[in-house]
Amino acid sequence: MKGALLVGGTSSDAGKSLIVAGLCRELRRRGVRVAPFKAQNMSNNSVVTLDGGEIGRAQALQAYACGLAPSTRFNPVLLKPGSDRRSHVVVRGKPAGDVGARDYHTWRSHLAGLVAEELASLRAEFDVVVVEGAGSVAEINLRATDLANMGLARAANLPVLLVSDIDRGGSLAHLFGTTAVLDADDQRLIAGYVINKFRGDPTILAPGLDRLREMTGRDTLGVLPYSTDLWLDAEDSLGASVGRRVGPPDTAGTGLGASRLTVAAIRLPRVSNTTDVEALGCEPGVDVTWVDDPSAVRSADLAVIPGTRATVSDLAWLRARGLDDALKGRARDGQPVIGICGGFQMLARRIDDPVESGAGGVDGLGLLDLEIAFDQDKILRQVTGTASGTAVTGYEIHHGRVHSSREQPWLVDDTHGPEGAVRGVVRGTHWHGLLASDVFRRDLLRTVAAESGRHGFVVSSTTVVDEVRAAQVDLMADLVREHLDLTRIEELICGGIDPAPPVIGHHLD
């Protein structure tokens, strides 16, 4: 088996990332040497690779599904939005500057060659490369500078499997319309359709799929059922909407003790690495919810300020909503607060940022007696250490440094010494992924329960985040095996599209 396939979508958050992960896992089960690839990702959820680079969270999960360590080869271009008009550009894992939406086309020729080179290298090394598209393949206003969807499919002659999320409604129209607006040469690469997140009886959907085939000449190669058990490692910011509960459904309303813990995760406008709070959501008896109002922050047992790509501007947003007073009230009343990376920086007395925002010196929340100074060089590293004698792991992605601190450290980095800060019930660290350290997380939850007066809370001794992640990837592979036409998909991977499907719609070419 030798070849490649692109999994594209009719929209963002259609399920491309998990379908790629499921395909990768199932192919690996069959003994295929498989690798993931996403030419260009736009996400503030990222991880650090072993060689000190930075890639999108989804590609790290897909690599995990393949049995591979995360590598910058799997996601050579990462865009991290810092505002509605500008993004931080990461090329082959390293910062390459900031760029505006209008200026990005000037980067295209260089990046297109880089993407083609990386994909060709992976295809030479592995039996199969499963490529994930970005957003919708029908963003025809961006077609001339497209690196990740039909531009890549055309350049590498990749068959495209088009995915639509039927839970949003309108899937049949989305699949037809997405195909129809593409030009003729792009259309010929659309090899088939996948319906994702279907609830109900598939026989009721069947007449619509038959009609879709009549209109487009393309088969639907599978209908994946909606699964509430798939929730971990959400990459798209749509997965962190205000009011959304974080965690598996079977932990809602259940727990090991008489009390439950509530966690308010503040949904910052430029929130990054939302996956940090998912480790808490794995725990039975812990309810994690994304919030943006002061009352929810005040009433929770624990408030978490997550990372952000825009510390200073998100701090201003937090103040405008009155969340600063809510957090200060918590600290005054002995209610626990945790800040992670950008959230940790917000807790400082003073922030000097000539780099990310260009704002210079601004006042922080003052809940920790320390100062943060931003540096042009970004820290990118995987880290290990200890906290109260417990081994912990994590990773760092940030420009800000602790310039001076009068607080006790929260933990000790094996290589770089004291890390983070603690003042009473207020804790902060630059480390992402810290809460996935199982023993540390259990100890922390016991402490939080005591501080918040939840004496009836009992933490699980069996929750292992990595096992939860493995189970999710295996579940996606099971769904792929059961509900997709893998015989046809393998034929597409090995032989491409022959004959090419028909062109539909009207064009002005």
Q: Which structural domains are found in the chain, ordered by start? A: 3-219+485-495 (3.40.50.300), 240-464 (3.40.50.880)
Q: Work out the mean pLDDT of the chain and round it to a whole number.
A: 93
Per-residue pLDDT at 238? 53
Nearest CA among 298, 362, 360 for reference residue 325: 298
Using a pLDDT cut of 90, give the percent of the chain over it: 80
Q: Is residue 40 scored above 60 in pLDDT?
A: yes
Lowest mean pLDDT among 125-139, 223-237, 255-269, 348-362: 223-237
412 pLDDT band, cuts 50/70/90, is very high
SS (H, E, C) 37-89: ECCEEECCCEEECCCCCEEEHHHHHHHHHHCCCCCHHHCCEEEEECCCCEEEE
Q: How much is the average pLDDT of 180-202?
A: 95
Phi-psi region of 222 (alpha: psi -120 to 50; beta: other; left: phi over 0): left
305 pLDDT band, cuts 50/70/90, is very high
Residues 296, 299: Cα–Cα separation, whole Å: 5
Q: Is residue 100 scored above 80 in pLDDT?
A: no
Q: How much is the average pLDDT of 112-121?
A: 95
Retrieve residue 333's tokens. Answer: 């009343």
Which letter, b or e, does each residue of 383-396 get, where b requires 16 or more Cβ atoms within 10 Å of its Cβ? bebebeebebebbb
The single residue of 282, 341, 398, 430 carrying the catalytic annotation is 341
DSSP secondary structure letters along 162-207: EEEEGGGS-HHHHHHHHHHHS-HHHHTTEEEEEEEEE-S-HHHHHH
102 pLDDT band, cuts 50/70/90, is low
Distances (CA, A) of 412 to 307, 330, 369, 418, 420: 20, 26, 18, 4, 8
Q: Is residue 507 scored above 60 in pLDDT?
A: no
Retrieve residue 474's tokens. Answer: 């295996």
Nearest CA among 313, 317, 272 for reference residue 430: 272
249 pLDDT band, cuts 50/70/90, is confident
Per-residue pLDDT at 235? 58
Residues 493, 484: Cα–Cα separation, whole Å: 14
Q: How much is the average pLDDT of 188-197?
A: 96
Helix/strand/coil for 19: helix
Which pTM does this prediction carry? Answer: 0.92
Q: How much is the average pLDDT of 400-422?
A: 96
The single residue of 88, 430, 432, 483 carrying the catalytic annotation is 432
Beta bridge partners of 339: 305, 428
265 pLDDT band, cuts 50/70/90, is very high
Q: How much is the average pLDDT of 199-203?
A: 91
Per-residue pLDDT at 509? 47
Q: Are 138 and 182 in contact (CB under 8 A)?
A: yes
Q: Is 341 a catalytic residue?
A: yes
Q: Is 432 a catalytic residue?
A: yes
Nearest CA among 200, 189, 190, 129 for reference residue 164: 190
DSSP label at residue 409? P
**pLDDT (tens digit, 9 = 90+) per residue, 327-372?**
999 999 999 999 999 999 999 999 999 998 899 999 999 999 999 9
